[in-house]
Structure 1
Amino acid sequence: MYAEYFGLQQEPFSIAPDPRFLFMSERHREALAHLLYGVRGGGGFVLLTGEIGAGKTTICRCFLEQLPEPCRVAYIFNPKLTVGDLLRSICHEFQIEVKAPGPGPATIKDHLDPLNDHLLRSHAKGLRNVLVIDEAQNLSPHVLEQLRLLTNLETNEHKLLQIILIGQPELRGLVARPELEQLAQRIVARYHLDALTPAETRQYIQHRLDVAGLKGPLPFSDAAIQRVHALTAGVPRRINLLCDRALLGTYATGQARVERATVDKAAQEVFDTPTKGPTETGPSPLRERALYLGLGAAAGAVLVAGAAWAWWQGQQPVAAPATPVASLAPESSAAAAQTPANAPAAEPPAPPPPKASPTPEAPAATPGLPPASALIASADAAWAELSTLWGTPLSGAAPCDQAPRQGVQCYRTQRMTLHGLRQLDRPAVLALQLPDRSRGRVLLTAMSADAAWLQAGGQRWQLPLTQLADAWDGSYETLWRLPPGLRARVADARQTAAATWVGERIAALQAKGTVPSSAAQLTARVQAFQRSQGIDAEGVAGPITLMQLNLASGVDEPRLSAPRS
């Protein structure tokens, strides 16, 4: 609603986990380092706690993407379970078959024995097994004690299972209870994720606005930012809610930037926080502006502004802005996307990157998993169907060898997560095992907060993410578009003719005026970009980094946005 008014390409403070807006503060990086250290420690428990909205999910997503290669992960995000439920979930996540020897349901021992065998076989192959439990503050002491017993599964030298507990601050008090003393002694690393400092709050706001396309000065006064930190206590999710509403209120009243009074009013709306001090009354700035916006193609802008004013009327009336009303009236539909009139002029920006092509209309989706007969049996056939979404059909044998000649490259992994699907945000081939044990491939073409859309042979299915997680084995195959001019596989774009392109894209995203002129400068810029995306900051511009660069800079690739209802 307000993005064009502030010269933005999109709204910057959505609470959806968009990887383009990922901000890693120093304490976020420290938390991630503790998790990675704990995993490399070879057993026991790792504890990560933090307030609601502090960024624990962000850390977990980054952690899962940076696990060492020989790791298998079981991820449990609904820990309100009995001991039996927990063991069933763990065996299911590790794809361990459990058989009950008698006519009744499988017992705890029926789960523990094959789990132990699985861990021993994995250890013999040099593989590590990691169990991640989110929202772990909901675990009962009885279930936590069973988890401690799982860490007794060991060889003479190594624990066979690493357990990571992620939860809210009360998790620290839970594991400190006297009856869980043995568990507490097995915690090899722990970290409490504090909220952002006032300086980091400013950096966070600046970062999200920059990613959203801000070219001019920060549209928040110093007093407004200080008030944002005071009202949110530096919690990122609360910052998003408050700043989004404050920008809307600023747009609704025709002001050029967010002031402290606007933040107070926004807080009253989203946090039920009372405002202090009288507010001066005056004429409705949007009603006056509507006189200028009511002509020709700008009529649509009146409806949008009216909606914003309807929201803002729920607050106390505000004074008209100091900027003359006439100066805020756009002269054409294009003018609405410019920086507010009283903002200082910025240097001319680089030409915007191309936007992703819209996904063509598709047939209606059928609820539930696809039948076995609809699954794609051949890997080559799956690549061929996936490649049509990129407009570069790959057919026949060895499709990934053909791909670079058509400007795309294949990417494969066997340990993708639901978080990873969201972060890479691109259609992909997933391998499924259906309840009848039949196996095959489908295309993931869209995702929402709680559902996925699958495709195979022109047919489509919609199902909850929980159902997808049950059937999906973690394999993931996708394509990504190569930098312009490259027609060979890329392992590190810094070593190719695309190095300049990479530098230009990152410079534009980081709002830096100059393109790096040396290899060292380019590596430093790549590392800064990787840190902003939660990628291991090695400075190598490999496939994951280039995929995220394509995503952040708007390279024309298909995405996973959910179909419109």
Structure 2
Amino acid sequence: MLKLKQVLKGLGRPQSALAESLKLSAATIAQLINHGQWPRSLDSADLQGRIRAFLVESGANDSDIANAFEKVDPPYVNTAGPALNEEPSGEDEPMLLPKQTLKASTRKVFGMFRDPFDELQSAKDMWVSPDIRYVREAMYQVARHGGFLAIEGESGAGKSTLRRDLINRIQENNDPIIIIEPYVLASEDNDTKGKSLKSTHIAESMMAAVAPLERAKSSPEARFAQLHRVLKESHAAGYRHCLVIEEAHSLPIPTLKHLKRILELEIGFTKLVSIIMIGQPELGVKLSERNADVREVVQRCERVTLPAIEGGRLDEFLRFRFERAGKDLREIIDESGIQAVAARLSQTGRRGGRDESISLLHPLAIGNLVIAAMNLAAELGVPVVNADIVKGV
């Protein structure tokens, strides 16, 4: 690392202030200060002069300015004193990045014309692990044969992708299944926060999907009787019906309880509606067996969690995505970079009084981190993303 880091700390100036003064990204400055990696796209002598000017304006003495670019050993983690409390550079923080996009200059440097983590264009673009394959098949079987399924997963885990895949699969196979998707935009679990999704709204969505030309009855009782009738008629015509509720963690408890009534709509031994709920981990809290209000729902509902990608499959996932974009993975990122991505998106938390490793290796988080690393590598003139680049993001 450069002595410049200690000089800035002594002046009380953050690295971000230097980055702003030089009109460079904070990641570029972090790479320069922590690893002595100068941007290849800029003249080093000119950049040193601009940094010296910043130090002069900040009140640095002549000795510090003269020695700012000397390389020094970084402090060990068990070193006592101020080094333990220095400003975090963001190198080792496993925080998630906001949405990242490939810059035009990055596309040119790496010879890429398609973002490997962009919206999937077809089912062939979908990477399937054993865990994802199980959830995928569970959804399809519930849609075809009936059942009540709740899918829980973190934001960016691929829940919406699986929903789109289910609809696409049913269309491609010409399965006689009507998918019913209530409108859940801005849905909240109570009317104080926003607009809650009620059973009447779900019934209206079902009527619109199954019998779009039939005018709904005005009273709730007549409307539900009408819904039962049109479902029977649709079933007699050879159709099955699957209610898919996304953002299900925002469902109010009363609506969750009413889903049991919808599930009980039947003709003989045949259930007329199957239900798939898709939501974030908060859905699991609402469906807890200790929650007496929804006990009858929990007893009938199969719960499946969409886990993070296993660290050992990260290379497989990245290789698949870049191959779909027409690029060999090793032309983009080396083994040390992949290991750094896995380390960056892992953190330790406490659960049940014990330390536990928590993986954030979900497709969205992986994509954002790799794209940010590619942009930084292109900016610094580094041909392949490595561990230092990933740490510098």
Normalising by the smaller structure, the TM-score range is: 0.5 to 0.7
CA contact (8 A) 1:84 1:107 kept: no
For 1:416-435, list aligned pairs within 5 A: none
Q: Which residue in the other structure is 1:32 paired with? A: 136
Q: 1:199 to 1:18 in 2, by over 3 A?
A: farther
1:340-392 Cα deviation digits (max 9, x unpaired): xxxxxxxxxxxxxxxxxxxxxxxxxxxxxxxxxxxxxxxxxxxxxxxxxxxxx
1:22 matched to 2:22? The reply is no
Q: Distance in 2 between matches of 1:13 and 1:150?
A: 38
Matches of 1:131 and 1:11, distance apart in 2: 33
Residue of structure 1 equivalent to 2:225: 113
2:154 corresponding residue in structure 1: 51
Letter in 1 for 2:254: H
Residue 174 of structure 2 corresponds to residue 65 of structure 1: no
Distance 1:227-1:77 versus aligned 2 partners, 3 A rule = farther
Give the SS at the match of 1:185. helix
Equivalents in 2 of 1:32, 1:218: separation in Å?
Answer: 32
Equivalent pairs counted in the alignment come to 258
Partner residue, 2:318: 205
Find out whether 1:178 has 2:295 as its counterpart: no
Q: Give the 3-state SS of the residue equivalent to 2:166 in structure 1.
A: helix
Q: Which residue of 2 aligns with 1:402?
A: none
**Aligned counterparts of 1:198 and 1:118: Cα–Cα separation in 2:** 49
1:74 counterpart = 2:180 = yes
Between the aligned partners of 1:25 and 1:139, the Cα distance in structure 2 is: 29
Aligned equivalent of 1:11: 115
| Structure with more relative contact order (C-alpha pairs < 8 Å, separation 6 or more) | 2
Taking the aligned partners of 1:159 and 1:21, their CA distance within structure 2 comes to: 34
Rounded to whole Å, the distance in 1 between the matches of 2:279 and 2:265 is 24
Structure 1's 148 and 242: CA in aligned 2 closer, same or farther, altered over 3 A?
same
- Alpha-carbon distance between aligned partners in 2 of 1:6 and 1:99, rounded to the nearest angstrom: 57
Query: Aligned to 2:136, what secondary structure does the other structure show?
Result: helix
Contact 1:35 1:63 in 2 (8 A): yes
Which amino acid counterpart does residue 249 of structure 2 have in structure 1? Answer: Q
SS class of match (1:32): helix
Superposed CA offset, 1:448-493 (max 9, x none) = xxxxxxxxxxxxxxxxxxxxxxxxxxxxxxxxxxxxxxxxxxxxxx
The separation in 1 between residues aligned to 2:202 and 2:272, in whole angstroms, is 18
Q: Distance in 2 between matches of 1:84 and 1:237?
A: 34
Give distance in 2, aligned partners of 1:146 and 1:46. Answer: 15
Q: Alignment partner of 1:66: what SS?
A: helix
Can you list the C-alpha shifts for 1:19-39, whole angstroms capped at 9, x where unaligned? Answer: 364222221111101112223
Q: CA deviation at 1:234?
A: 1.0
- CA drift of 1:231 comes to 2.5
Q: 1: CA distance between counterparts of 2:210 and 2:280?
A: 26
1:34-57, CA deviations, whole angstroms, 9 ceiling, x for partnerless residues?
112223443x41111111100011
Deviation digits for residues 207-250 of structure 1 (CA, Å, limit 9, x no counterpart)? 12112221473421222112212323211001111111100111
Q: CA deviation at 1:94?
A: 2.6
Q: Which residue of 2 aligns with 1:253?
A: 380
User: What secondary structure does 1:76 align onto?
Assistant: coil
- Runs of 4+ aligned structure 1 residues displaced above 6 Å come to none
Q: Tell me if structure 1 keeps the 8 A contact 2:334–2:384.
A: yes
State the match for 1:84 in structure 2: 200
Larger radius of gyration between Structure 1 and Structure 2: 2
Matched, 1:137 2:241: no
Residues 203 and 184 from structure 1, CA distance in 2 versus in 1: closer, same or farther, beyond 3 angstroms?
Answer: same
User: What is the letter of the counterpart of residue 211 of structure 2?
Assistant: Q
Partner of 1:165: 277
Map Cα deviations across residues 299-330 of structure 1 (whole Å, 9 max, x no partner): xxxxxxxxxxxxxxxxxxxxxxxxxxxxxxxx
Tell me the TM-score normalised to structure 1 length.
0.44
Equivalent residue for 1:98, pick from 208, 215, 223: 215
- Aligned partner of residue 181 in structure 1, secondary structure: helix
Quick one: which amino acid aligns to residue 98 of structure 1? R
Structure 1, unaligned runs of 5 or more:
101-105, 267-565
Shift of 1:125: 2.3
CA distance in 1, matches of 2:126, 2:183: 21
Cα gap change, 1:77/1:235 in structure 2, threshold over 3 Å: closer, same or farther?
A: farther
2:371 maps to: 244
Identify the residue that residue 456 of structure 1 maps to in structure 2. Answer: none
The one-letter code matched in structure 2 to 1:61 is R
Q: Which residue of 2 aligns with 1:234?
A: 361
CA contact (8 A) 1:72 1:127 kept: yes
1:257 and 1:173 mapped to 2: Cα distance?
43
C-alpha contact (below 8 Å) 1:71/1:127 kept by paired residues: yes
- Residues 17 and 77 of structure 1: CA distance in aligned 2, closer, same or farther (over 3 Å): farther
Report how far residue 58 of structure 1 moved. 1.2
% identical equivalent positions: 26
Q: Which residue of 2 aligns with 1:222?
A: 335
Separation in 2 of the partners of 1:75 and 1:216? 38
Instruction: Indicate conservation of the 8 Å contact 1:74/1:132, yes or no.
Output: yes
SS at match of 1:191: strand
Query: Is the 8 Å Cα contact of residues 54 and 195 (structure 1) preserved in structure 2?
Result: yes
Structure 2: 5+ residue stretches without partners: 1-103, 188-195, 346-359
Change (3 A) 1:211 1:238: same
Greater share of helix residues, 1 or 2? 2
- The residue type equivalent to 2:344 in the other structure is L
Structure 1 residues 7 and 161, CA gap change in structure 2 (3 angstroms): same
> 2 CA distance for matches of 1:251 and 1:219?
11
Conserved? CA contact 1:91–1:111, under 8 Å:
no
